[in-house]
Structure 1
Amino acid sequence: MEQIRIGKTLVDYHLVYSSRQKTIELVIDLDSGFTVKAPAGISKEDVAVNLQRKASWIITNLDKMNEVIRNETRKEFVSGEKFLYKGKHYRLKVIQVNEQIVSSLAFTHSKFIAHVPANLPEFDYPRIIQPLFIDFYHEKAEKILNQRARKYLVYFEAKPSLIKVQSLKNKWGNCSKTNQLRFNWRVVMAKMSVIDYVVVHELCHTKHKDHSRAFWNEVQKILPDYEGRKEWLRINGDLLKI
């Protein structure tokens, strides 16, 4: 994954080289995000120069794509809808089984599969399937956030007195005066680099309870590129919901 700074925004893109490509082609879509197709042999520096020339087009079309995604956030929980997990979109497949089945949700690393009773009307899917997704995200967030916290604890002498995943209004994480860390389960929908930023952010609050220069210096020591991750979350945070 490559990055380019356009104004104050860091833009991620996939750079694909092809001997059949004669010119640089820009592709933006919901499935693969932003892809740059370039002729074989062209340098990354020349690609970056070309992207800066087309900065306005890139930002405009990324905004359009994000607007489409925002419009999709009111889910109907029907087959074909896409749901975020660790920064990627996965389709949902709903399978009606029999009237006695207990509804369930599984993730197969390529899609989500929900099993529901055969007599469940489609308009009632959100009532049954949405809580299954919330349980899935909550369970995965518990595992992933604890794993990532353990990875970064080597940078800290004081250890958190608690690490807990829960629903947090308008916050991705919180560090109490007694170093209890709480994380919003929705962050597990973001890509791993952003999850790591949220974890490191709250761990740094075990040293600095405010957002002083000393705090941000601490974050930067661990994540030198934290500003790009922070910016991604600011721009895309409202997409991380169901």
Structure 2
Amino acid sequence: MTMEQIKIGNTLVDYRITYSSRQKTIELVIDLESGFTVKAPGSMSKEEVAANLRRKTSWIIINLDKMNEVIRNETRKEFVSGEKFPYKGKHYRLKVVQVNEEIVPTLTFTHSKFIAHLPVSVPELDYPRIIQPLFIGFYHEKAEKVLNQRARMYSKYFEEKPSLIKVQPLKNKWGNCSKTNQLRFNWRVVMAKMSIIDYVVVHELCHTKYKDHSKAFWNEVQKILPDYEERKEWLRVQGDLLKI
């Protein structure tokens, strides 16, 4: 099984290819567990598989959209052991540990999983009420560090420097640049992979030079991120999934 990509419009779609001598025709499978899988005859080359996919782009987009809609409408997180939570583009499992003494609930990240420590007296029904704010605090803290660091790194491209960089909840926005070049970022963006975080940062930094979305503005974004359209499209399609 190998991982490949196909570009549909401005969107890069990942898919896995499995080859089998028993497979007579190409078969496309999209599901929640394995994502997008292409089952191909053993004699078919990668180029032939790609050519087949290019003829079926409408089917691929429609069914990927359906799968994402299912994910968006999933039952809310229960915040129990085994659930996965995103951070910088990867998903990590949560482990809930309950201890006998009356401790203050905490959440730690070990670079392989999240661990929530709770008193044993807390019933599972109350996990969301207690653990969700801990996750929000974690994301907010990490977003402060990551976004400030990336903003400093990309500021070298601009004469005007941000007068403020702040992380906060932003309804229906990933970032905002004020008339006085105060940059505000949505803490949820730290759930995304770094290339997307960088796109959001560069987008707002370009607003320190251009306060609109004119051609000059997008040309400025492209100077720094030549593939910005793919990043922008990823955020448009996948952004709703960056939530807890």
2:129 is matched with 127
Whichever residue aligns with residue 80 of structure 2, its letter is V
Distance 1:76 1:228, change over 3 A: same
Stretches of 4+ aligned residues off by more than 6 angstroms: 37-41
List aligned pairs for 1:1-242, cutoff 5 A: 3-6=5-8, 8-13=9-14, 28-30=30-32, 33-34=35-36, 42-43=45-46, 45-72=47-74, 74-242=76-244
Q: Residue 66 of structure 1: SS of its match in structure 2?
A: helix
Distance 2:75 2:158 in 1: 37
Would the alpha carbon gap of residues 161 and 55 (structure 1) be closer, same or farther in structure 2, given more than 3 Å must change? same
Show structure 2 runs of 5+ residues with no match. Answer: none
Residues 73 and 239 of structure 1: CA distance in aligned 2, closer, same or farther (over 3 Å) = farther
What value does the CA root-mean-square deviation take over the aligned residues? 2.5
Q: Is the 8 A contact 2:78 2:128 kept in 1?
A: yes
Aligned partners of 1:180, 1:211: CA distance in 2, in Å?
17
Structure-2 change in CA distance of 1:42 and 1:233 (3 Å): same
Question: 1:128/1:10 Cα in 2 relative to 1: closer, same or farther (>3 Å)?
Answer: same
Q: Could you tell which deviates more after superposition, 71-80 or 143-152?
A: 71-80
Displacement after TM superposition at 1:40 (Å):
9.8
Amino acid at match of 1:106: T
Residues 105 and 115 in structure 1, CA contact (< 8 A), matched pair in contact too: yes
Q: Distance in 2 between matches of 1:201 and 1:211?
A: 10
Asked if the contact 2:10/2:229 (under 8 Å) is kept, the reply is no
Partners of 1:2 and 1:163 lie apart in 2 by 38
For the Cα contact (< 8 Å) 2:142–2:190, is it kept in 1? Answer: yes
Q: Which runs of 5+ in 1 are unaligned?
A: none
> Is the 2:94–2:113 contact (alpha carbons within 8 Å) kept by the matching residues of 1?
yes
Aligned mates of 1:31, 1:150 — CA distance in 2:
38
Structure 1's 12 and 147: CA in aligned 2 closer, same or farther, altered over 3 A? farther
CA distance in 2, matches of 1:54, 1:154: 43
**Taking every aligned residue pair, what percent have the same amino acid on both sides?**
79
Output the CA distance in 1 between the equivalents of 2:80 and 2:208: 43
Residue-by-residue CA offset, 1:26-67 (whole Å, 9 max, x unaligned): 564546644557769945x54432321332442233223312
Any idea what SS the aligned residue of 1:174 has? strand
Q: Determine the C-alpha separation between the residues in 1 that align with 2:29 and 2:170.
A: 36
Aligned length: 238
2:150 & 2:161 partners in 1: Cα distance? 14
**How far apart are the structure 1 equivalents of 2:208 and 2:4?**
32
CA distance in 2, matches of 1:26, 1:99: 53
SS at match of 2:171: coil
Judging changes above 3 Å, is the alpha-carbon distance between structure 1 residues 168 and 88 closer, same or farther for their aligned structure 2 residues?
Answer: same
2:232 aligns to what SS in structure 1? helix
Distance change >3 Å, CA 65–CA 107, structure 1 → 2: farther
